[in-house]
Structure 1
Amino acid sequence: MSLNHSLDKRHALVTGASRGIGYAVARQLLEQGACVTLMGRGEAALKQAAASLAVHGEVNFASGDIARQSDVHQAFAAAKARFGPIDILVNNAGQAVSQRFDRLDEAAWQQMLAVNLTGTFHCMQAALPDMLERQWGRIVNVASTAGLVGYAYVSAYCAAKHGVIGLTRALALETARKGVTVNAVCPGYTETDIVREAVANITEKTGMNAEQARGKLAERNPQGRLVQPDEVAEAVLWLCQPGSAAVNGQSIPIDGGEVMAG
């Protein structure tokens, strides 16, 4: 990625930012001149991530659970005290639980909605007022191909990610004439902790080894591979650029053609 500092001094807040896609997004935003606040639940991991990212630019962290509105308000207030109003929000934090539908209990269902959908709502609602006041903002929600199609054994996750895409589209229409764009990226199976957990689950239930399980997931991608976090981050970064102002309400698959092929 060229270092043209197209986001010079813009304040970006990235959730789930201590590893995986969130970490890659934070690094690329920093390389374009943004000041970045990392948000997540684990303070130790956030502190370590911030220390390693500091070489790329101005970075801070704020811990909190996005499923709790009070945590979000507290974390956003701390972020704004350091870097000012939030110009860019990347909702990346998420969890996946694999379970057959008839065995899915209400607690797991509610947890998937709370983290993947309600948490996104909390953060969007907290960031939006400053964006509207300044007539400029970028909101990018990291959804999933599970928000575009169905996958067996992850019904709650699919429902939550479909909800994220619906929320993205609705808010995009509300802010379309106010300088704020709202978009989603929808990664296929990506080299992250969620996929590593899926591999472990497959090996436990099927007897496959880890390499076979990874291959099974990669088969869904017409390119025959797992998506890399940096590839998702590149798409997120593009949506945050000033030049992407005409792109609004979109849900962009980052999946090697999986959804198209389906």
Structure 2
Amino acid sequence: MTTADVLVIGGGVIGASVAYHLLEQNPRLRVILLEREAEVGAGATSKATGGVRHQFSTEANIRLTLLSYPYFTRAQERFGRPVDFLAHGYLFVTASPPTLAGVARSVELQRALGVRSRMLAPGEMAPLLPALVTADLVGGSFCGDDGSADPYGLLQAFLSVARGRGLEVRTGEGVVAVEKGGQRVTGVRTARGAYAAPIVVDCAGPHADEIGALAGVDLPSKPFKRQVMVTEPLPGFPDMFPLIVDLDTGWYVHRQGASAVLMGGTDKDRQPGHDTTIDW
């Protein structure tokens, strides 16, 4: 049996961040990260579009962004490598007056916490993307500090530093059981062996609820399928424009570098699950 001070389940960007911060606080810890796939970052992290935003409707989420934002803007200083962060802004739009009233309340909260977001009338959106049709809109919000980064680059940045502090990363180690002593978790088992630790951190992303169930915990976290369409370069679009979200449908448009445009959305009627079949 392998023993550790902390076991981290999941080799995505969240698991890597947890390991990084544990070893930043105490480099003497033995931290082992267990990843079910053959490589780290092969799950949700590999499919993320990398959005970084302050524009949330809850104080907790806004404060989380305020805490994490320097990791993107000062990555070179913190990690010794960039994560390709670009502050292109986020623009949220709506054609619904009640939705716009909710946006205004969110912006008021954001600004109270120091976020530089602001409300925009439809006529004020044109300079951000001249091709945007605004005739049916009632308004929206914009924050120029919002942007996007490379999720895989951030993952590798966390792991590079954490490995230098002693982090052990073990791939192909899917957790099949969580061991307990009374009401406390004491370790886990994988198909390859057993691990003992007084602390186990569940960072399994879309599989987090499954790990929780192994420990007898019902986590209110479920995976929902999202789809992203990637275009070829589109004529008439500037090299940079905000990530634009239609609050009424969940549809968004996002420039990736100076070439492709990403478009995606949320099927609000879809049930949770792990089906990754493309729905054309």
- Under a length normalisation based on structure 2, what TM-score does the superposition of the two structures give? 0.30
Asked which structure has the greater CA Rg, the reply is 2
Higher RCO (CA 8 Å, separation ≥ 6 residues):
2
